[in-house]
Structure 1
Amino acid sequence: MAIATHDGHAEHEHGPGALRYWVVWVLLLVGTILTFALSRVHLPPPFHLLVALAIASGKSMLVVLFFMHLWDHTGATRLIFATSIFFIALLISLVVLDNATRFELTNPGHEGTLQAEPPGPDILTPRGPPAPESRVDAPGAEQEGRDVPKPSPAPGPMR
């Protein structure tokens, strides 16, 4: 009795060729170099995160598809993978949106200053040196009943 083999089954037994892994490895190296190069480029704040997430997502997809052999699977395995990618994207986007709506001084890496109205002059008025009449050596300072700190006596020889 002869056993017929299916061509796809025979290919699965031998596994994919080494060329596939070399190509994926080179793509991962290019992604790593691209990540480093784009980290040196000044982009507006929301685009830094989007570019970094896009490159990281592409690299992780290569690892999952080829090194974890999802490329060779069909059906439910791919559906589960697609569902997990959807929920990860949803969670990351909700965190980014939450961070974008916060007070700007609470965000890490904020280099600006507060642009709100300054408080009234009676609350946070900068105070300069004390007026001459409030000093201890001013004549009549102690007689007016003010609380003026007195200098401590100079230490002398102990007897």
Structure 2
Amino acid sequence: MAAHGNASTAEHAGVPHHSHVGRYVVVWIVLLVLTVSTWAIAKVHLPGPLHILVALVIAIAKGALVALFFMHLYDQQGANRLVFATSLVFVALLVGLTLSDYATRYPLAKPPGSEGALPAPDYAPPPTSRTH
């Protein structure tokens, strides 16, 4: 048992141990600032689909910070970084193809003036009769 403990200590003797508490605090503060900025941007009216783009950029930045620092991808090399980069490519592909599909819809599928509002009914609703 003692020999195993000494071998384990000998293996890690050449590797300096760094405390990353300061880095975690900075990343946490940046995440808080990005969260508040997401809330603030939601209160501001941006033209067209710009609010979606801004929200996606902020969400991607927060996700990247969490993955890089709290999931330790910043300190890793090789396959872990490749998997992270590949997942970002596939998310970008998924969002891009979805937006391009929406942009190429037929005109009847998205009539003018239908951006988020329900059309007013062009008929009078039937009168309600109350019989007790």
TM value normalised by structure 1: 0.59
1:22 maps to what in 2?
25
1:36 maps to what in 2?
39
Shift of 1:112: 7.8
Q: Which structure has the highest helix share of the two? A: 2
Q: Does 1:93 align with 2:96?
A: yes
Select 1:110's aligned residue among 116, 120, 126: 116
* Identity score, percent: 48
The answer as to whether partners of 1:65 and 1:71 remain within 8 angstroms in 2 is yes
Structure 1 unaligned blocks of 5 or more: 114-125, 127-159
Query: 2 CA distance for matches of 1:100 and 1:25?
Result: 37
- Tell which has more relative contact order, 1 or 2 (C-alpha 8 A, sep 6+): 2
1:49 maps to what in 2?
52
Structure 2 unaligned blocks of 5 or more: 1-9, 124-132
TM value normalised by structure 2: 0.70
The answer as to whether partners of 1:104 and 1:110 remain within 8 angstroms in 2 is no
Shift of 1:99: 1.8
Tell me the C-alpha RMSD between the 2 structures. 3.0
Query: 2 CA distance for matches of 1:71 and 1:16?
Result: 14
Shift of 1:45: 2.4
1:59 maps to what in 2?
62
Change (3 A) 1:16 1:82: farther
2:16 maps to what in 1?
10
